[in-house]
Amino acid sequence: MHPPSSHTGPNALAAAKGQASAATGPGIPKVGPQTSSTAPAAAHKAPRSWLQLNTPMADWQGRRVWLVGASTGIGLACAQALRAAGAQVIVSARNAQGVQDWAAQDSGVQWRALDVGDHAAVQATARALLAEGPLDMVIYAAGYYKAQRATALDLEELLQHDKVNYQGALQIIHAVLPGMLARQSGHISLLSSVAGWRGLPNGLAYGPTKAALTHLAETLYMDLQDQGIGVSVVNPGFVATPLTAQNQFTMPALISPEQAASAMLEGWARGQFDIHFPKRFTLWLKLLRLLPYRLYFPLVRKFTGL
Ligand SMILES: NC(=O)c1ccc[n+]([C@@H]2O[C@H](COP(=O)([O-])OP(=O)(O)OC[C@H]3O[C@@H](n4cnc5c(N)ncnc54)[C@H](OP(=O)(O)O)[C@@H]3O)[C@@H](O)[C@H]2O)c1
């Protein structure tokens, strides 16, 4: 892999793109050299420009990354891209979906079955992982989505969205943050969604949980930036995964999980806080956020027909 000095500025981006595209889709290839050491904590405190809200992370060699909610979709593609870049990845979710086979082939991959709704299991899994060594990054990608409108309100479904999309993240943060604070190092990245930027039809259950996650990331960032701990929030547009396979409408600017993973690695390599993509879609939504409601509501109705 590249010498450390090449992993800042444009080289970092080139490196990140190269690494992400090295990973192939589901089918879990064996990738990269086998490394077992964990990068020293100090490496994360490299100086950064004022544009970079986080310390850039492009050198994944020897870094230990726990991805929660990564047996499929964006989380899995991200685990593959990080592994291709030399990171040691721990993948958690309820169902292995082949990750166990991958772990059996590659000592740099661990499978840890976990339901984020089981608080004791979250604590126990985090304790077991931290007993093996520090975690350099924790990515919360677990997500649940069912379209819902207030005209057919389903409280149980509303609460299930909150349990997986928001409370699960709180459980994971609660389990890993003390270790990061003790080391004054680490990074927490939360997979939120542009659906959390402003209310959207069918998003009654999903949207508010993502708005909460983005708000949580903002507050975490402010509280932790002086503790050597990075925080980022990932806001994808539409990505072709099992979660969006239920959508009956044409999804604008739809991208693949691999493209999403590539954008995430690029965002971390740039030291970004708000990693949103694809820009040809998300920048319009950023604009929509600025509109007064008397313009926003009719425009959304016009665009969605809902
Ligand atoms: N796809 C998109 O267009 C899009 C857009 C914006 C944001 N996102 C967000 O990106 C993240 C990943 O979504 P995705 O599209 O990649 O969907 P996905 O393929 O369905 O992935 C969801 C992951 O979460 C895991 N999960 C669900 N419930 C869980 C639980 N209780 N405990 C532990 N793991 C759980 C799933 O595994 P198990 O079911 O086996 O547990 C799976 O690995 C989600 O937070 C989603 O909201 C997706």
- Render 218-234 in DSSP notation, one character per residue: HHHHHHHGGGTEEEEEE
* Signed CA dihedral, 102, 104, 105, 110: sign only: positive
Distances (CA, A) of 109 to 41, 91, 101, 105: 21, 7, 10, 8
The pLDDT of residue 289 is 96
**Residue 73 CA to ligand 1 centre (angstroms):** 7
Which of the two residues, 120 and 96, has the higher pLDDT score? 120
Tell me the β-bridge partners of 15.
Answer: none
* Cβ 99 vs Cβ 111: under 8 Å: yes
The pLDDT of residue 306 is 84
Catalytic residue, from 140, 145, 166, 206: name it: 206
**Residue 141 CA to ligand 1 centre (angstroms):** 6
The pLDDT of residue 16 is 45
On the question of pLDDT at 255 being above 70, the answer is yes
Active-site residue, 206 included: yes
The pLDDT of residue 90 is 98
In this prediction, residue 51 has a pLDDT band, given cuts at 50, 70 and 90, of confident
On the question of pLDDT at 257 being above 70, the answer is yes
Length of the chain: 306
**Residue 164 CA to ligand 1 centre (angstroms):** 9
**Radius of gyration of the chain, Cα coordinates, nearest whole angstrom:** 19
Give pLDDT tens digits for 268-289.
999 999 999 999 999 999 999 9
Which residue, judged by its Cα, is nearest atom 45 of ligand 1?
143
Average pLDDT, the chain: 88
Instruction: Report the predicted TM-score, pTM, of the whole model to 2 decimal places.
Output: 0.88
The rounded distance, in Å, linking the Cα atoms of 129 and 295 is: 49
Sorted by where each starts, the structural domains of the chain and their CATH numbers stand as 52-304 (3.40.50.720)
Q: What number is the average pLDDT over the span 164-192? A: 98
Residue list, ligand 1 pocket, CB within 6 Å: 69-75, 93-95, 114-117, 141-145, 164, 191, 193, 236, 238-239, 241-244
